[in-house]
Amino acid sequence: METERSYSPEIETQRERTSLREIFQSAKTKIVGQVLEWMQWEDKELKAEAETIKKSADISRRAGEFFRSLIPESLHQPKKPYEHRAQPSNIIYDEQGEISEQRYYRWLRASFSKKYYQEMRHAAAKSAPIEMVGPVSAHEVEGRRAERRSVWSHQPGGPIYVQEDIDNQFFTLDDGTEYSASRSLLLVKDAETGMILEMDQLLPNKFRYTPATLDEKTIKVTQDKNGTLEERVIPARTELTKYEGTKNSGDGFYATFYGDEYGGKVGYGDLTKKGGMLSLLHEVTHAWQDAYGLGGGRKNFEKFYAAVDLNLSLMTWAQEQMEAEREKRGVDFYQNLYVPNLLKHLKEVGAEVDPDQVSKPEMAGEQDIKVTSEREDTLGRTFLIQSDKLVPLVDDFAREERDAWAHAIRALRFLRREGIDLEPELKNAKDFKEVIDPMLNSYQRWLDKKIEFPETTKVRKFLNREAVKPAAETNAD
């Protein structure tokens, strides 16, 4: 016989409380377990990315050290000491070596669930690098107007992207001339490996990069009352809106040095074209040559040529005036006063001329050097000079350029061994020659338009490898 149970509200309430307590405790245990698991879970992919960034910073630093070591190993030893001051990394943000991605994802983990975090990480991992021209943003630096723009450009033939973060500031000279000066923070990124090369780490102290198209200027050569030549560089004002990145920006590669106190800059054109990065490394070498006091080759030749060209042009003017005003002023005014002063200036720069034959190239002797003028009033005219100074100047110019290309190749190979290939389309010696030889040949043509040595004079040629064999062997890998 079944016994009938009596209903008790108190007992049922207690049972419900017990059941809810068990459910809550079970849920609490599960949540705590998940939280502990989430807190203890390690994002191995992010950790690997962080290690790659730290490795990149180390390689960038060592690449700069490699560049710094090349000049003292050259055939021509440094003319002045150089003390390098290490620059902070632009991709590692604190003393613990933490990168920006770590900071961002640490915040993401603290703010959202594991599922959301993993979705964000997955989306970031799948996102491919893109070419992009960022907007121009305005800001102020010490009361001056300034602009910023970031640009990402892809280099054909490989996974390399060039990131430019450009800052353009505006200034006003005492005479009211307005001009701008830009600085570019260059990063080279490998989309496959995640490696990043900080190009700033390759430069000497106080040097910077600047896009050549933002560095417009004019140069005027003037003569003061004492006859001393002065070269004045007049900068231009350029807006950042006109610059849309390195791609298709031309061939403007150069290095400019203002002295130890102010440093210098390396201008660049298209870094994405074949040979563009090699050309940049070539100019970085020139920056190091300047830092060590070895960068005077081309500058010294140009200074000599400009001084000679100016004085020869003035002498031609004086001789023409002498003929035109023979009756009015007499020959003595030019022949005894003006011409001797010009001869003195020429001798001071290292050149001598015969006033009676200086304008008669057809009368050139075995020691005469032909100089073709580039000044507006005597453009294309050929003069005769004699100089023991010119051959060493040309030798230094050619040696300096060939050394710079040799050092650039060595730096490129160093980076390849470290896992960063800046020139994937340069695969063999033929590829390198296709980039370098036209440049060396252009230097030679540029020089030949200005100077013609006697056939008996031995002078270094830019493309004559035998003439620079010792330097080439010293700089070979």
User: Span 326-353, mean pLDDT?
Assistant: 78
- Enter the tokens of residue 103: 């900071």
Mean residue pLDDT of the chain comes to 82
Amino acid at 144: R
User: Span 122-130, mean pLDDT?
Assistant: 63
Residue that is last in its domain, among 83, 100, 126: 126
In Å, how far from its chain's centre is CA 19?
Answer: 73
Residue at 117 is within a domain: yes
Amino acid at 328: K
User: Are 370 and 238 in the same domain?
Assistant: no
User: Are 181 and 267 in the same domain?
Assistant: yes
Range picked from 2-16, 68-82, 342-356 for highest mean pLDDT: 342-356
- Enter the tokens of residue 220: 């005027």
Q: Report the number of distinct structural domains present in the chain.
A: 3
In terms of residue numbers, what domain contains 346? 300-385
User: Are 192 and 310 in the same domain?
Assistant: no
User: Are 255 and 311 in the same domain?
Assistant: no
User: Are 108 and 192 in the same domain?
Assistant: no
User: Span 195-224, mean pLDDT?
Assistant: 88
User: Has residue 181 got a pLDDT over 80?
Assistant: yes
- Enter the tokens of residue 77: 């030893």
Residue that is last in its domain, among 95, 126, 157: 126
**Gap between the terminal Cα atoms of the chain:** 105
pLDDT band at 331 (very low <50, low <70, confident <90, very high): low
Residues 170, 203: Cα–Cα separation, whole Å: 24
User: Has residue 358 got a pLDDT over 60?
Assistant: yes
User: Span 442-462, mean pLDDT?
Assistant: 93
pLDDT, tens digit (0-9, with 9 covering 90-100), for 14-47:
655 556 566 565 655 554 444 444 444 455 666 6
- Enter the tokens of residue 96: 């613990």
User: Are 317 and 241 in the same domain?
Assistant: no
Residues 355, 386: Cα–Cα separation, whole Å: 12
User: Has residue 140 got a pLDDT over 80?
Assistant: yes
* pLDDT at res. 45: 66
User: Are 98 and 144 in the same domain?
Assistant: no
- HSE at residue 39, side-chain half, CA atoms within 13 A, is 6
Residue at 20 is within a domain: no
User: Has residue 82 got a pLDDT over 80?
Assistant: yes
Residues 35, 29: Cα–Cα separation, whole Å: 10
Residue at 8 is within a domain: no
User: Are 153 and 260 in the same domain?
Assistant: yes
Contacts of 402 (CB under 8 A, 6+ apart): 440, 462, 468, 471, 472
Residue at 376 is within a domain: yes
Residue that is last in its domain, among 57, 92, 126: 126
The CA–CA distances, whole Å, from 471 to 277, 407, 475 equal 23, 11, 6
449 vs 174, more confident = 449
User: Are 119 and 141 in the same domain?
Assistant: no
Residue at 422 is within a domain: no
* pLDDT at res. 117: 59
Residue at 236 is within a domain: yes
User: Are 258 and 170 in the same domain?
Assistant: yes
pLDDT, tens digit (0-9, with 9 covering 90-100), for 246-287:
999 988 999 999 998 999 999 999 999 999 999 999 999 999
pTM value surpassing 0.85: no
pLDDT, tens digit (0-9, with 9 covering 90-100), for 151-171:
999 999 889 999 999 999 999
Residue at 10 is within a domain: no
Residue at 233 is within a domain: yes
pLDDT band at 466 (very low <50, low <70, confident <90, very high): very low
* pLDDT at res. 36: 45
Any idea which residue has 């006697």 for tokens? Answer: 454
* pLDDT at res. 28: 52
User: Are 246 and 364 in the same domain?
Assistant: no
User: Are 138 and 242 in the same domain?
Assistant: yes
